[in-house]
A = this chain, B = another copy of it.
Amino acid sequence: MISEKILDLNKNGSAIRAMFEEGKKMAALYGAENVYDYSLGNPSVEPPREIKDAFMQILEEESQNYVHGYMLNAGYEDVREAIADKLNKSFGTAFSAKNIMMTVGAAGGLNVAFKTLLNPGDEVITFAPFFGEYRNYVANFDGKLVIAQTNPETFQPDLQVLESVITPKTKAMIINNPNNPTGVVYSEETICEIAELLEKKEKEYGISIYLIADEPYRELAYDGVEVPYLTKYYHNTIVGYSYSKSLSLPGERIGYLVLPDELDDAHEIIPGAAVANRVLGFVNAPSLIQRVVGRCQDATVDVEIYNRNRELLYSRLTEYGYSCIKPQGAFYLFVKAPGGDDKAFARAAKEHRILLVAGSGFGGPGYVRIAYCVDYDMIVRSLPGFQALAEEYGLTK
């Protein structure tokens, strides 16, 4: 028999990916313009022009063996230096190249972090709702994902709940800010309270609790909201970053980990993460795209495009009677499923060729996730479907 874990995952696959594959089939059947695919966080905004220019320049200027060759498992040193400099300028930190490790996206980075930190049975806390893959990443290393429910009205952390789930087996906690799937942003005040609690518990139990800041959505924040940089608030913070969303490069699998000198056991964690990157089979983050992002540290996608989507969808859906927190970050709306059954509602939406993901996969049953990183026109075309659905479910305006 093949891996039992994989047999189990085959049965209970990713709801996001299943919907994405479904969308491709439906697009072939009904025409792409008649399917409203809100399933996947696949950026609709073009990568900034600097990306293409950097590709071209590097391919012309640098040696082919260099740009496509092996480098240290942690990545090219000049690229890591450029990233450290940019972080230091942006957040007043004091990182150098050795604190940056290039990774195969944030998903690769999180797996490297867990491989480096976890022993079997160690507990990793996440707030719910959460990105469902955390469960798999932690399970890869025989850790246990522990869920801390957030305030059901605001999706903001509840410190008492958090305190109640910290145990002597707690090895790490993930904070995804801005949050996927809710789009909420945790404020500086909230982060300070969490940091204080973790420090207290570290002392109480005589343990190290690593805070893993999963930040692919850092730059996607609206209404002028600030997203705190967690290494400044808590000594044992590891940042996992990705350029997937901020530069619209999700297929390229490029990101990095920040491993500060202040970490407990930094002298083991920093080399250990490079070893983990190697033995997990990543070996190193893809080479040419490392060099591209190294040159594009000041590039940004036009967040206003997502903001326009957010405003349209939020205003219309609430107008139709749907209930939803207005997100301040990322590109997701987490909407209360009319009728209360998220899977049933996702199926009903599919009848209108609207593809949503049921919240159950995010530890948020009773909600659906709408990824609005799509063309504005697709949103416009989908609105009659949302309205019809609202009527079917008898939502009051």
Contacts and interface: CB of A to CB of B under 8 A. Distances in A.
Interface string A5-22: 111011001100100110
A56 interface: yes
A176 interface: no
Interface residues of A, number: 79
B9 A279 contact: yes
Q: Is the interface of A mostly helix, strand, loop or mixed?
A: helix
A284 to B, nearest CB: 6
B68 A2 contact: no
Contact of A3 (B70, B136, B272, B286): B272
A51 interface: yes
A4 interface: yes
Nearest to A77: B24
Contact of A282 (B10, B59, B108, B272): B108
A110 B282 CA distance: 11
Contacts of A288: 251-252, 288-289
A6 B69 contact: no
B6 A116 contact: yes
A46, A137, A288 — most chain B CB neighbours (10 Å): A288
Nearest to A275: B9
Interface in A250-288: 250-254, 265, 268-269, 271-272, 275-276, 278-288
A287 B105 CA distance: 12
A104 interface: yes
B64 A51 contact: yes
A64 B47 contact: yes
A116 B1 CA distance: 10
A2 B285 CA distance: 23
A281 B110 contact: yes
Contacts of A55: 55, 59
Contacts of A72: 21, 24
A397 interface: no
A275 B12 CA distance: 10
A118 B70 contact: no
23 contacts: A3-B115, A3-B116, A3-B141, A3-B276, A4-B119, A17-B73, A40-B70, A51-B64, A56-B56, A67-B251, A69-B251, A104-B281, A104-B282, A104-B283, A105-B281, A111-B281, A137-B281, A251-B284, A251-B286, A251-B287, A252-B286, A253-B284, A253-B287
Given A42-B70, A108-B281, A111-B281, 13 more contacts: A1-B119, A1-B265, A3-B118, A3-B119, A5-B115, A6-B275, A10-B275, A47-B68, A64-B248, A69-B251, A111-B280, A254-B286, A286-B286
Q: Which 4 A-B pairs have the closest CB atoms?
A: A251-B287, A111-B281, A136-B279, A107-B281
